[in-house]
Structure 1
Amino acid sequence: MNFKRIHHIAIICSDYEVSKDFYVNKLRLKPIREVYREEKESYKLDLALEGGYVIELFSFPEALSRPSYPEARGLRHLAFEVNDIEECIIELNLNGIDTEEIRLDPYTEKRFTFFQDPDGLPLELYEK
């Protein structure tokens, strides 16, 4: 194997317009391409961060919920690296997004916190 990096993360949302607003207007990820796939009754929105392709946001009419939270098998959370965690928390809170208390990683001594997307997907801010 000659893996170079993670290419993208795919997220299936329950309400496409709500999630699109969250990721584009509140988290300020840049839309690259949006398509409606009529045969699947599904939207697909490609999003970038710092010029790099990172998230595919999907909608499906009959998507199932996760069986349990937060320790279900699968992706545990998606972490965004930030320069100033407190500045990001203020901006998230001003956009109506609740955040947990700041924690300290005992191994790296870096600060981090969690918040959720509209479907409850755990997202993390990790200070550089």
Structure 2
Amino acid sequence: MNLLGTHHVAIIASDYAASKRFYTEVLGLEVIDENHRPERDSWKLDLRLPDGTGIELFSFPGAPARPSRPEAQGLRHLCFRVADVAAAKADLEAKGIAVEDIRTDPYTGRRFTFFPDPDALPLELYEEPGP
């Protein structure tokens, strides 16, 4: 097997409109497509990051809540690469998003921080300056 990269990450939102606003307006992700599936009473929003990675945002009525944060089985967190974690943190805070203090990874020496999406899904910003 020769994996080429991540194609997409799927997220089920408890409040589709709030999560749509968060991922498009706060994080600035590009909308590729949006579809309503009446047979499931479900919306699906396809988003894209600048590197081509996709995020699929779903609404599913009655989906169970995440049992705990962040150590529940399953997806622990979603991490976004940024060139300047302090600037990204300041941008999020200016939009009213609570962001944890910036930490430094003791193994890589890179800076990172966490913030929640509207469903308290842990999202990480990880600093990887460009070439």
Same fold (TM over 0.5): yes
Q: Distance in 2 between matches of 1:25 and 1:93?
A: 14
The 3-state SS of whatever aligns with 2:113 is strand
Q: How does 1:35-54 map to 2 (within 5 A)?
A: 35-50=35-50, 52-54=52-54
- Which runs of 5 or more structure 1 residues have no equivalent in the other structure? none
Structure 1 runs of 4+ aligned residues shifted over 2 Å read none
Q: Deviations over 1:91-124 (max 9, x none)?
A: 1001110100000000100000000000000000
Kept in 2, the 8 Å contact 1:110–1:127? The answer is: yes
Give unmatched runs, 5+ long, in structure 2.
Answer: none
Q: What TM-score, normalized to structure 2?
A: 0.95
After superposition, the CA RMSD in angstroms is: 0.9
| Percent of aligned positions that are identical | 58
CA distance in 2, matches of 1:112, 1:120: 18
Q: Matched residue pairs, number?
A: 128
- The residue type equivalent to 2:93 in the other structure is N
| Aligned amino acid, residue 19 of structure 2 | S
Query: Structure 1 length normalisation: TM-score?
Result: 0.97
**Per-residue deviation, residues 1-54 of structure 1 (Å, max 9, x unmatched):** 222111100000000000000000000000000000010000000000115142
Name the structure 1 match of 2:112.
112
Matched, 1:103 2:79: no
The answer to whether the aligner puts 1:69 opposite 2:69 as a matched pair is yes
Find the aligned partners of 1:51 and 1:99 in 2 and give their Cα distance. Answer: 24
